[in-house]
Amino acid sequence: MHTHDATNEFDAIVVGGSYAGLSAAMQLARARRRVVVIDAGQRRNRYARHSHGFLTQDGIEGSTIAALGQAQLLTYPTVTWIEGTAVNAVAHNGGFRVTKHDGQTLRGHRLVLATGVIDELPLIDGLTERWGRHVFTCPYCDGYELEQGNIGVLATSALSMHQALMLPDWGDVTLFLNGAFEPDETQLIALDERNVTIERALVRRVTGKADVEMRDGRTQSMDGLFVIGRTRIGSPIAEKLGCAIEQGPMGPYIRTDQKKASTVAGVYCCGDAASMFPGVPHAVADGAMAGAAAHQSLVFGTVATQTLKNE
Ligand SMILES: Cc1cc2nc3c(=O)[nH]c(=O)nc-3n(C[C@H](O)[C@H](O)[C@H](O)COP(=O)(O)OP(=O)(O)OC[C@H]3O[C@@H](n4cnc5c(N)ncnc54)[C@H](O)[C@@H]3O)c2cc1C
């Protein structure tokens, strides 16, 4: 534990110390508030070699961006950094008491949840080990580097139409339906207009770099594969506290208002855990808003910053 403050009472507790959490903590630290960040170190993009699309940091390793953010944050004297997992949080005396994996408790007047999400990939042999290297989900993050080559979309539901219709801007697309859905007539016309090749044979596994082996024995060589998996929120803490949860197309996320206040007074949520739109730049912006809103709620009260009601 790197610490500038020996007590366990803080103005704000930030759970999750990646892009969103770091950015939230930065705003609180710059307001000279005592803030503790608890981080389990499992960034969502840890499987990828490089991070793309974040202004000034394009093509840099995701770990480098996070490490620089952490180093800059820790120059502020009111910041405490704890490596570990927050396992529970309860409302306590108008604030929150957070329990860590080792039983240590921390008290904070405000809680910022920046726990990210966990990806759940479809059960296709060979997919998981290529995740972030040759198998991706976000065209803006990883499409460009495929150099307009052969791109496979492994369908998981009709949602995969979205990827199949977008990705022709990045290369020659084959949509592997794999029995996940059958495009209707309108969808077939749209796919045709975008020059998408449709493959109906079932997929046996992914081999080589990103080669798709079909159950009928054929193998199709791809430069990269895209898949839409499911996500779940990185920690059950928000749900346990009673924060309202939205159901997005890929999975649940915490409901927040424009200032990133959740439906529970004093709890602010940011980044992938509280958004339908993942990405490092989004998480950083989201975190900055959550941190500033959490700070302002310490000055003006939670009512001034919270517009959502729990339903
Ligand atoms: C393969 C892949 C490649 C990607 N490439 C890009 C890219 O090129 N560009 C881009 O913009 N985006 C990319 N993304 C998306 C990007 O990774 C996420 O949008 C971003 O990491 C979200 O930041 P976050 O801070 O919300 O969550 P995360 O970065 O996922 O961090 C959440 C943090 O909270 C911690 N945590 C969770 N629960 C607890 C708990 N209970 N106690 C303590 N700590 C906890 C985790 O351990 C983790 O450190 C990629 C994603 C994937 C999967």
Atom of ligand 1 nearest to the CA of 278: 19
Residues with CB under 6 A from ligand 1: 15-21, 38-45, 47-48, 51-54, 85-86, 114-116, 119, 131-132, 138, 141, 234-235, 271-273, 278-281, 283
76 and 155 in one domain?
A: no
Ligand 1: which residue has its CA nearest to atom 12? 279
Residue of minimum CA distance from atom 3 in ligand 1? 45
pTM value is: 0.96
Q: Are residues 87 and 141 in the same domain?
A: no
Query: What CA–CA distance (Å, rounded) separates 241 from 260?
Result: 16
Which of 26, 141, 250, 282 to mutate for ligand 1's pocket (most ligand atoms within 8 Å of CB)? 141
280 CA closest ligand 1 atom index: 11
Pocket test for ligand 1, best of 54, 117, 138 (most atoms within 8 A of CB): 138
Decide if 205 is inside a domain. Answer: yes
Domain boundary among 180, 199, 227: 227
Examine residue 50 and state whether it is found in any structural domain, yes or no: yes
Domain membership of residue 311 (yes or no) is: no
Do residues 15 and 114 share a domain? yes
SS (H, E, C) the chain: CECCCCCCEEEEEEECCCHHHHHHHHHHHHCCCCEEEEECCCCHHHHCCCECCCCCCCCECHHHHHHHHHHHHCCCCCEEEEECCEEEEEEECCEEEEEECCCCEEEEEEEEECCCEEEECCCCECCHHHECCCEECCHHHHCHHHCCCEEEEECCCCCHHHHHHHHHHCCEEEEECCCCCCCCHHHHHHHHHCCCEEECCCEEEEECCCEEEECCCCEEECCEEEECCEEEECCCHHHHHCCCEEECCCCEEECCCCCCECCCCCEEECHHHHCCCCCHHHHHHHHHHHHHHHHHHHHHCHHHHCCCCCC
CATH number of the domain to which 241 belongs: 3.50.50.60
For residues 148 and 206, state if they share a domain: yes
Per-residue confidence in pLDDT tens, the chain, 311 aa: 444 444 689 999 999 999 999 999 999 999 999 999 999 999 999 999 999 999 999 999 999 999 999 999 999 999 999 999 999 999 998 999 999 999 999 999 999 999 999 999 999 999 999 999 999 999 999 999 999 999 999 999 999 999 999 999 999 999 999 999 999 999 999 999 999 999 999 999 999 999 999 999 999 999 999 999 999 999 999 999 999 999 999 999 999 999 999 999 999 999 999 999 999 999 999 999 999 999 999 999 987 656 666 65
Any domain includes 310: no
Residue 186 Cα to ligand 1 midpoint, Å, equals: 36
Give domain status of residue 247, yes or no.
yes
Task: Look at the chain and report how many structural domains it folds into.
Answer: 2
Domain containing 173: what range?
A: 122-227
Based on the domain organization, do 126 and 115 belong to the same domain?
A: no
Whole-number Å distance between alpha carbons of 105 and 168: 51
Q: Which two tokens stand for residue 298?
A: 């310490």
pLDDT score for 304: 60
Domain final residue, candidates 174, 197, 227: 227
Indicate whether 220 and 234 sit together in one domain: no
Q: Based on the domain organization, do 16 and 115 belong to the same domain?
A: yes
